[in-house]
Structure 1
């Protein structure tokens, strides 16, 4: 979502620091929620990260920017930006289908099999989307428990959109398509992978030195490196949260990803793997996933 600095500052000169924070947090949460938030004072205060007294002091000024619609609140600018975003995605899908149809007609006229693996593609042109594309079946130990995954052109476009300009120089849409296909075979839904990319590109690691050393999207998808950035460490996740983070749920997500295919574990920040001595994962979470916790005297305080 774009932030129009001059317009924002002109409209919010009467807000104090708490008011600015509350307003921006509500806008960000609304963007992620699809354009509306519940008309619930307690929930809105939590989203705004305000105490009851702080919320009471800024509520009238902040809520004046929003429109009440039934049991929800909306924001004109957020609604317009979501409409633009949806139009871009739909335009990309339509363009992909039109391009595919044009190539198919041309190749058929020349007697060429358009599904041939020898058809040469530009490095930045992924395979066009088809509504009847065969779902990808995850492989490995969890294949029987994992549903088939449909990968669409819009997923590739969205992954490309969340990739910053500098990182785009190190990847291509064709690379992203191939990486997303691999992730799907490992049982990862495209939406989850894209959220991981968002988290990575919002992290200190990717934004250091103006993003000079941010990795290409396909490299973050390959080997499931994005999983290290989906446990609440990203500013977007924290800002949009409507309730305090649950430490147990964070550990549960990490262990679930570790067990179900990725085998990714960050020992620097999370300590030893589940079941190992001095493991930091709560005992109940280790047992939930079938690990035998280390003896109490071996577990770090």
Structure 2
């Protein structure tokens, strides 16, 4: 049995990200995600294996691979998916916390049972030759009660009494201009916002007008969830050429993109900006090689 058989699916974000997929591509993508979940968060970066996981022939996989791979983060040996990795970490942390709470509760109940047995059995013998009288038993139970308030029950009450989430002024400004839909979670978007650097937050905010213009040019295109726009760094593809915040993408990330493009001959135009060799290319010139961009397909990932 898989370690985490329940695979969480955020339907609003999924549908917003995959509006361009065909029915067959939806099936392949879901099979890859579920297999990745059961495998601990990654799959081998091997076309033969990926075709098998997607229940496809090698030829079928080759046809849809350009559409599938931009959803994943690829290394020479494996592929991962950002949202799935985050959910897997959260599930593991929750599982560990529940296990710790269960052990603490078992130890507390064991100590109470032992104390009650000594207090009610006149023939029981406690080391040092003394018995617990009624007042000592009462004190012990009161201490256990106090301890429980500080551990499990107390922590639950403390969580319930937390004040509502407070949003920073910068995030409120971003949220105000972002093209929202009723099912967007503001608090989840804020969680992702906190992980960005100051430069990245500025880039994210400044990318919104370009993204809104993109949506205006494609009336039937679904609006991506603000959480996806932030967490998966989709804003990077909409940072205007020449904007100083475009430097938020470091050289290592650009090299990862270039290596993928040189192998697949596909450039993710919507997220990475103009292709190498095109006007407005955001890739640092020092990282480019002769021939970069020649014959590459400019593929726009769906928002």
- After TM superposition, the score normalised by the length of structure 1 is 0.35
- After TM superposition, the score normalised by the length of structure 2 is 0.35
Structure number with bigger Rg: 2
